[in-house]
Amino acid sequence: MNFSEVFKLSNQLCKISPDGKYLATCVQYRLVVRDVNTLQILNLYTCLDQIGHMEWSSDSLFILCAMYKRGLVQVWSLEQPDWHCKIDEGSIGLVSSRWSPDGRHILNTTEFHLRVTVWSLCTKAVSYIKYPKACQKGIDFSKDGCYMALAERRDCKDYVSIFVCDGWHLLRHFETETQDLSGLEWSPNGCILAVWDSCLEFKVLLYSLDGRQLCSFSAYEWSLGIKSVTWSPSSQFLAIGSYDEKVRVLNHITWKKITEFEHPATICNPKTTVYKEVEQRPAVPSDDLSIHSISLGSTLFNTQSKYEIHQPPFQIPVAKPDADRANPKIGVSTLAFSSDSRYLATKNDSMASVVWVWDMQRMSLEAVLEQTLAVRCFQWDPKRPRLALCTGNSKLYLWSSAGCVSVQVPAEGGFQVQALSWHCSGDLLILIGKEQLCLCHMEVEPDDK
């Protein structure tokens, strides 16, 4: 592995362009665009205020910068640096801004979710969509960019509207059997729309493109329900994480539950590999304390870590949630399928320092990774079944079927990895800190090419 130097960053705003050629970072009100390979600055843009959100267009030709405090959106061009566009929502405010799949329309959601405004960069036409619902994930585009699903709230009832992105005309509009719709998501093949209720009721509904309800799934009643939902890249599985600390997987043929993954405190399956992170502090000889006193601050707290393999049965530490506080730390909050849909990685909030890896072919637990700190973020390699994760310290962790590895990030200034993101090639990782970022170039094996 090779690590780059550290670059400044604000609000953890950094993204690689969809074509993988450019890296955009935000430093307060400045937008910096670099070449990914050389890290040379190609363009430097100055916005009117501090940037709250940044996003590439699908063709990597434009960058959107939203300044929510001022209700402004500025759009910059890579091909024509002198060209720019400014969208001012005025007194109605702005809470979110995003690109349409064609990269030529911008969707702005106003304060209090009064409406969604669609701005065209080509014709300067403006369209309005009323009644958008304020929920966790209320807008989603199909992967092919043809359709947009929008969650709506009218007369105290939940609805879903499906729009054709070419012209923004309404294709379907139907009411959903939800008490308080919390989110929706298209399957990767664009054929099925998953809709789920709030955490107060366990209900997942599946709809076809013409609005027909194909399935209604509920695992239990009278308890906190769904916490996370995700599709597999192959569209064969829909994984549902819930507050009862289980993951239920539905199949794409009958839409019935085919398996249920639990997160037990004791690992008993002998076929499961348990990796436990163990830290070691460098020893400082007592007779050399005076010599090492200058560098003591930089070495005493720099710990090295490695993974130890444990055989089941293995006990996992469980934190007891505080029932008197809102949003209790319990339940499966994070789900992620590998790019080939072979593996599913999960995180149970009552075991915040543990990542679970499930084999979807055998429908069994493949590996358990116990870290010394709570897991902040994990993400699969887009090309290979390789998982990267971070825990808020100065280390990067990688898992594959071959094993686990812990890598010290050799960045200056006590760089701590708060989040990470893969390059589309799988050969590069963006390591994101609070106010800095670092690039990690992965060594590619000949068999991986």
Per-residue pLDDT of 134-189, as tens digits, reads 998 999 999 999 999 999 999 999 999 999 999 999 999 999 999 999 999 999 99
Q: Which two tokens stand for residue 170?
A: 């309404």
pLDDT number for residue 213: 97
- Indicate the average pLDDT of the chain: 92
State pLDDT tens for residues 258-300: 999 999 999 999 999 999 999 877 655 555 444 343 333 444 4
pLDDT at 446 over 60: no
pLDDT number for residue 283: 59
Question: pLDDT over 90 for what percent of the chain?
Answer: 87
Nearest to 207 by CA among 161, 275, 268: 161
Strand 181-186 and strand 53-56: pairing? unpaired
Mean pLDDT of 47-53: 97
CA distance 73 to 57: 14
**Which residue carries 């348990």 as its tokens?**
274
- What's the CA dihedral at 261, 266, 268, 271 to 10 degrees? 60
Catalogue all structural domains in the chain, each as residue range(s) with its CATH number: 1-130 (2.130.10.10), 134-227 (2.40.10), 263-282+305-319+328-408 (no CATH)
pLDDT number for residue 445: 59
State pLDDT tens for residues 301-352: 567 889 999 989 999 989 888 767 777 789 999 999 999 999 999 999 999 9
Mean pLDDT of 69-94: 95
Coil vs helix vs strand at 23 = strand
Q: How many residues does the chain have?
A: 449
Q: Which helix (H) or strand (E) is 336 found in, with range?
A: strand 332-337
CA distance 380 to 423: 11
Category of 245 on φ-ψ map: left (φ > 0), alpha (ψ -120 to 50) or beta: left
Mean pLDDT of 79-107: 95
CA distance 306 to 407: 9
**417: Cβ–Cβ under 8 A, 6 or more apart, which residues?**
376, 390, 391, 392, 393, 394, 395, 396, 409, 431, 432, 433
- What's the CA dihedral at 341, 347, 348, 349 to 10 degrees? -150
pLDDT number for residue 339: 97
pLDDT band at 401 (very low <50, low <70, confident <90, very high): very high
CB hemisphere CA count around 238 (13 angstroms): 27
Question: Residue 329 CA to chain centroid, in angstroms?
Answer: 19
User: Are the C-beta atoms of 109 and 132 separated by less than 8 Å?
Assistant: yes
pTM of the predicted protein model: 0.92
Identity of residue 382: P
